[in-house]
Structure 1
């Protein structure tokens, strides 16, 4: 289902309040618990009307403004609860969702947010409340929101073995944007961002190429004679900000790891602040707290843990990312993917990159830093952002010492205390194509560890 309603209310509704809210939708409706009671499904004679996820406490500010509506947050109490409903995208489903949400908001004071009309004309009754329809080899989720997050609903759909075997498609209108976490998912081979235009046509949100509906595969590329042209407006060259994308991996002993510390150190060097909030999904509603995170990670061990985090810099620029922790023999590996938005190219903190590397040098395995056109709020519209430009990469000293960190086309600088890491910046005046080639050659050189630079000029360690 794709019509979403969020009730924001001052108090966590008790059983009596929740019962009255469900009764407001209609006393002749049937209620069924799903996922061990974690979800409630409301049905009429024709099928499912809506599914309700229990209230979540909004402990950290910012998600209402980021994902819903900045104006909505102004009238909310400082401490509130977030209850999300997903309704059938017809008049009966929308009305039922509004009655339940209005009762919850009025019970203690609050507000109600609704998505767009959400009726793409393809909805069908499915077992999962987030699924719009299923094709033979694709599961399609539709969302009509200004910003589409990596929600618990979507995460649950992805756990379906059929999705993992065949594919996942996200259907949105052209006005929607994706968070970094969801946009990263859409870049995977079995995923596709399907964008619906006002005329009812479809195109790929990452490539702009036209798509057509297919009964077996959901949406597939449209056939064209000659090179396919991207959708109208996809190649919009109007000004955009800049985004730094940082991917790095660290490893620490099991008895000495501190989950989230590496994230905190990098964002403090590049933005000036630690993350504001974290959580397993979006919205990320818990205030940033490494001790609380560590308790959850240890409780889940030896299963891996995946968290989303976000924050806002002093100038209003936003950042968000993913943190994955995996237990291995003798240690814990942290994999971090982070995007930081900036208003323009001049505000990108190139000078702070060595400090960010040095801050996580101990235990660092690899770090890649890239620069791309993109929104300052770290969300992604369905338009061409250009190819990312590598700014540099770093490796832990243990990985670099096979060649003593020397040689190759890029000059390396050893950073950090103890064993440290080696940072290989790309010269600022190098064209993007050349920069990509230099980074690839340097990585190949380090991997070989043979002291040959493949014909490139020799580098050195400073």
Structure 2
């Protein structure tokens, strides 16, 4: 493929099928300019390569935007290049992009990183004047960290004072076009990152909330990993949850990720909403251990709890043993609910 030309001020180099945006920023945010570059590159059918030093970190929103646009993150180490999160070293950016990636993943937390809780929840809202947007983020943050979003915006950094009414009004003005927003919430020892995706559906509005919550140290009175299913159950009883998952990962306290390690996510809980329970033909009366019905008996949702039996009994497992046991319990739940449920919740994609 010949070199491509993309008229964008952030393009620093071009190659066969790709363009390069280079930055030395210590923290790479999902700014309006970078978002525009990634979207233009995708529309042009070329790959956008973000080239940074190995010491740079990406915000959670920027990391998601790279994945969503099939873009690539490459780190520069002296005169060498490698794909972020990979041990594969290449002589140039193109080789780094195309080389097979052998990613070392474990449940361990890398240097300088702290535990995270990541949650992804989709909620259905009827197409009515009473529908409000942003409440899922508020409920998740209140349940997990006893905080509320502080600021929001369309790009990073978020600068507008948080307001459910303003978020709702902004999305209404953009309808029927989809809306993507970011928000932040200061927490004890860190900053939580929230991303919202709002779009029309056949029967109303779907709001997807993606939360990254750094938890540098256990805090008295706040939920632990074992309490996450209870937080999800409370959410399912307050809102029309379609699907939701929660995972333990790791990153930096400011909700950024580095290129040095891609940790293995560990399942903490999930919600299968009432509509999915109906579509999957799940009989709540025959639920396996680790799954329970919540909400109205006629149209229940399911909460999946992968907490190992040993942990329930008070046994303290090593991080690696805990991760293995949680994945094993999740596999058992998946076998009981069927392959469509596993595919719907995206469990297999996280390993």
Structure 2 vs 1, CA of residues 408 and 186 (structure 1 numbering), >3 Å: closer, same or farther? farther
The DSSP-based 3-state class of the residue aligned with 1:296 is: helix
Higher helix proportion: 2
Once the two structures are TM-superposed, the CA of residue 173 in structure 1 deviates from its matched residue by 0.9
1:170 pairs with one of 31, 42, 50: 50
List per-residue Cα deviations over 1:346-394 (Å, max 9, x = no partner): 8863325413431244311111111023222211111114201111211
Corresponding position of 1:432 = 323
Q: Does 383-392 or 272-281 show the bigger shift?
A: 383-392
Once the two structures are TM-superposed, the CA of residue 448 in structure 1 deviates from its matched residue by 6.5
Mapping 1:357-368, distance limit 5 Å: 357-361=233-237, 362-368=239-245
CA distance in 1, matches of 2:65, 2:13: 19
Corresponding position of 1:312 = 186
Residue ranges of structure 2 left out of the alignment (5+ in a row) = 312-320, 342-351
List per-residue Cα deviations over 1:151-182 (Å, max 9, x = no partner): 10011112215556221110011121100011
Mapping 1:413-424, distance limit 5 Å: 413-416=292-295, 419=299, 421-424=301-304
1:279 corresponds to 2:115: no
TM-score where L is the length of structure 2: 0.79
Once the two structures are TM-superposed, the CA of residue 147 in structure 1 deviates from its matched residue by 0.6
CA distance in 2, matches of 1:370, 1:207: 22
1:378 corresponds to 2:252: no
In the alignment, is the contact (CA less than 8 A) between 2:38 and 2:71 conserved in 1?
no
Corresponding position of 1:207 = 86
Corresponding position of 1:397 = 274
Structure 2 vs 1, CA of residues 348 and 249 (structure 1 numbering), >3 Å: closer, same or farther? same
Residue ranges of structure 1 left out of the alignment (5+ in a row) = 1-124, 451-462
Corresponding position of 2:61 = 181
Once the two structures are TM-superposed, the CA of residue 426 in structure 1 deviates from its matched residue by 0.9
2:97 pairs with one of 213, 220, 230: 220
How many residues of Structure 1 are paired with residues of Structure 2 in the alignment? 316
The DSSP-based 3-state class of the residue aligned with 1:439 is: helix
1:442 corresponds to 2:333: yes
CA distance in 2, matches of 1:409, 1:435: 15
The DSSP-based 3-state class of the residue aligned with 2:97 is: strand
Structure 2 vs 1, CA of residues 236 and 263 (structure 1 numbering), >3 Å: closer, same or farther? closer
Corresponding position of 1:267 = 141
CA distance in 2, matches of 1:301, 1:405: 37
Mapping 1:16-415, distance limit 5 Å: 127-160=7-40, 165-187=45-67, 190-197=70-77, 199-213=78-92, 217=94, 219-221=96-98, 237-238=110-111, 240-255=113-128, 256-313=130-187, 315-344=188-217, 349-350=224-225, 351-361=227-237, 362-400=239-277, 402-407=281-286, 409-415=288-294
Structure 2 vs 1, CA of residues 370 and 330 (structure 1 numbering), >3 Å: closer, same or farther? same
The DSSP-based 3-state class of the residue aligned with 2:327 is: helix
Once the two structures are TM-superposed, the CA of residue 252 in structure 1 deviates from its matched residue by 1.3
Q: Relative contact order (alpha carbons < 8 A, sep ≥ 6): 1 or 2 greater?
A: 2
Once the two structures are TM-superposed, the CA of residue 407 in structure 1 deviates from its matched residue by 4.2
Structure 2 vs 1, CA of residues 143 and 352 (structure 1 numbering), >3 Å: closer, same or farther? same
CA distance in 1, matches of 2:271, 2:16: 44
Structure 2 vs 1, CA of residues 296 and 237 (structure 1 numbering), >3 Å: closer, same or farther? closer
Once the two structures are TM-superposed, the CA of residue 339 in structure 1 deviates from its matched residue by 0.7
TM-score where L is the length of structure 1: 0.61
In the alignment, is the contact (CA less than 8 A) between 1:358 and 1:421 conserved in 2?
no
